[in-house]
Amino acid sequence: MKWYKLLSVIAVSCCIACTPNEPGDNGNENNDNNSSNTDTPGTSTLPETRLVGADLSQWKAYHDDHAEWYSNGKAIDNLPAFFADNGYSIARLRLFVNPDLNSTACQDLQYVIESARAMRDAGMSICLDFHYSDTWADPGRQDKPTAWQSLDAVELAHRVYQYTQETLLALQAENIVPTHIQIGNEITAGMLWDTGRVGVWDESYNTPRQWSNFTSLLSNAAKACREVCPDAKIIIHTDRGGDSATAVRYYNKVANIDYDVIGLSYYPYWHGPLSQLSNTINQLSTHYPSKEIMIMETGFGYNQWSDDSASTSYGNYASTPEGQKKMLTDLVATLKPYKNVTGLFYWFPEETLIDWRSTYRIDLNRGLFDKETGEVLPAFYTLPQFGK
């Protein structure tokens, strides 16, 4: 998720109004005539336990730059262990190809290895989030790595395979084996633009050639994952938690890819009320009953300085610690009736007190720690209720 507001504009402009359904209702969406609306047969069964996740990608940079976290006024020395001890079972870590190490997007392979080792040692499993870019990738931006710019479509697909394979082997050599792997981050509009740029509504990129390019990239990524980490679950992640029409059309297009989990982002201030999330889950459950569904990103502001405060202070939710907790309480209650919703991740919960001059500082005011004091917020203890 890119932390500035471009995604908000895209999400709003693309959102399709839909009638909410209760869990178990079978809705019906218009399908893309060029794609199947039936699930690819699978042999896997739904897991008995649910994952409670935290995207802790910025933790190491914050830790190394002397950020502070507190619980009841006492300093937290080992933040991964604090998450694990309080019911967070999996850490999501983003990976860039060749990033600027002095920026907010600083997660290269060595960074991820060191972070994953700390998460593993704390008792958490790992979800690796390939961005396939040197910097932030989301529906509004999917830049090719600089080193891959000159590759044609065939060469690019092969490079994705090589890079995915090399990365996973490097992690494996460090005794770090992800249990979940995202092949792309919020790839609703494809990835590695413009070669793999797609759209389910936009005629410019909704063409057989563009979809062939994109699915070739995904297939090669998935192939490498299966070869190196055969037990890992592969996730295709979009940002359409509140847009069932686009979600159904999109996952129809990628139905022939070898993957296990439909990953969605859901932020109420961009994706609408929980009723829209329910409708999206209903539609996807109907079309893909053997796929797990996970909310790979969520978040909500806890004070008036939240970057989305103007749009988060609506309905029953205020941009306060109490409002943040209530939103997550209602989100957990909405998701728990669905047996196929097997994971829920909070994005950038580690936001906290850090020097304002830090090059790694991201100011969103929607972490699970007060960034003025470093004290843990009540909502921190709400998300783990999903796993119980």
- CATH of residue 316: 3.20.20.80
Q: What separation, in Å, do the N-terminal and C-terminal C-alpha atoms of the chain show?
A: 27
Return the H-helix or E-strand segment holding 233.
Answer: strand 233-238
In a domain, 72, yes or no: yes
pLDDT, tens digit only, all 388 positions of the chain: 544 333 333 333 333 333 333 343 333 333 443 344 455 434 456 777 899 999 999 999 999 999 999 999 999 999 999 999 999 999 999 999 999 999 999 999 999 999 999 999 999 999 999 999 999 999 999 999 999 999 999 999 999 999 999 999 999 999 999 999 999 999 999 999 999 999 999 889 999 999 999 999 999 999 999 999 999 999 999 999 999 999 999 999 999 999 999 999 999 989 999 999 999 999 999 999 999 999 999 999 999 777 665 555 456 788 899 999 999 999 999 999 999 999 999 999 999 999 999 999 999 999 999 999 999 999 999 999 999 9
Closest of 306, 163, 286 to residue 223, by C-alpha: 163
Q: Rg of the chain's alpha carbons, rounded to an integer?
A: 19
Give the model's pLDDT for residue 1: 53
Q: Is 10 within a domain?
A: no
Residue 308's pLDDT is 63
pLDDT at 233: 98
* CA-closest candidate to residue 55, choices 368, 321, 350: 350
CA distance 381 to 369: 11
Q: What is the pLDDT of residue 47?
A: 77
Inside any domain, residue 123:
yes
Pairwise CA distance, residues 316 & 383, whole Å: 18
What backbone phi and psi angles, to 5 degrees, belong to 166?
A: -60, -40
Res 17: pLDDT: 35
CA distance 267 to 299: 6
Q: Is residue 31 in a domain? A: no
Contact predicate 254/304, CB 8 Å: no
Q: Would 282 be classed as within a structural domain?
A: yes
User: 106 lies in a domain?
Assistant: yes
pTM summary value: 0.89
Does 43 reside within a domain?
Answer: no
User: Residue 84: which residues within 8 A CB-CB, separation 6 or more?
Assistant: 122, 123, 124
Whether residue 194 is preceded by a cis peptide bond, meaning omega within 30 degrees of 0, is: yes
pLDDT for residue 45: 67
Predicted local distance difference test score (pLDDT) of residue 33: 38
Look at the chain and report how many structural domains it folds into: 1
What is the residue range of 322's domain?
52-387
The stretches of 288-358 forming alpha helices (DSSP H) are 309-312, 321-335
> 129 forms bridges with which residues in the sheet?
94, 182
In whole angstroms, what is the distance from residue 260 CA to residue 231 CA?
A: 11
Q: Are 265 and 295 in contact (CB under 8 A)?
A: yes
**C-beta of residue 214 within 8 angstroms of C-beta of residue 191:** yes
Q: How far lies 335's CA from each of 39, 137, 344, 360, 383, in Å?
A: 21, 27, 9, 33, 11
CA distance 160 to 181: 14
Q: What is the pLDDT of residue 364?
A: 94
User: What's the CA gap between 18 and 341, in Å, rounded?
Assistant: 20
DSSP SS3 for 86: coil
pLDDT for res 315: 61
**Can you tell me the distance from the alpha carbon of 102 to that of 107, in angstroms, rounded to the nearest whole number?**
10
Look at residue 26 in the predicted model and tell me its pLDDT.
Answer: 35
Give the other-Cβ count within 10 Å of 28's Cβ.
10
Q: How far apart are CA 118 and CA 112, in angstroms?
A: 10
pLDDT value, residue 167: 98
For tokens 């003025």, name the residue.
Answer: 372
At 225 the three-state DSSP class reads helix
What are the counts of helices (DSSP H) followed by strands (DSSP E) for the chain?
A: 11, 12
Residue 384 is encoded by which pair of tokens?
A: 């783990």
Q: Could you count the other beta carbons within 10 Å of the beta carbon of residue 316?
A: 9
**Residue 42: inside a domain, yes or no?**
no
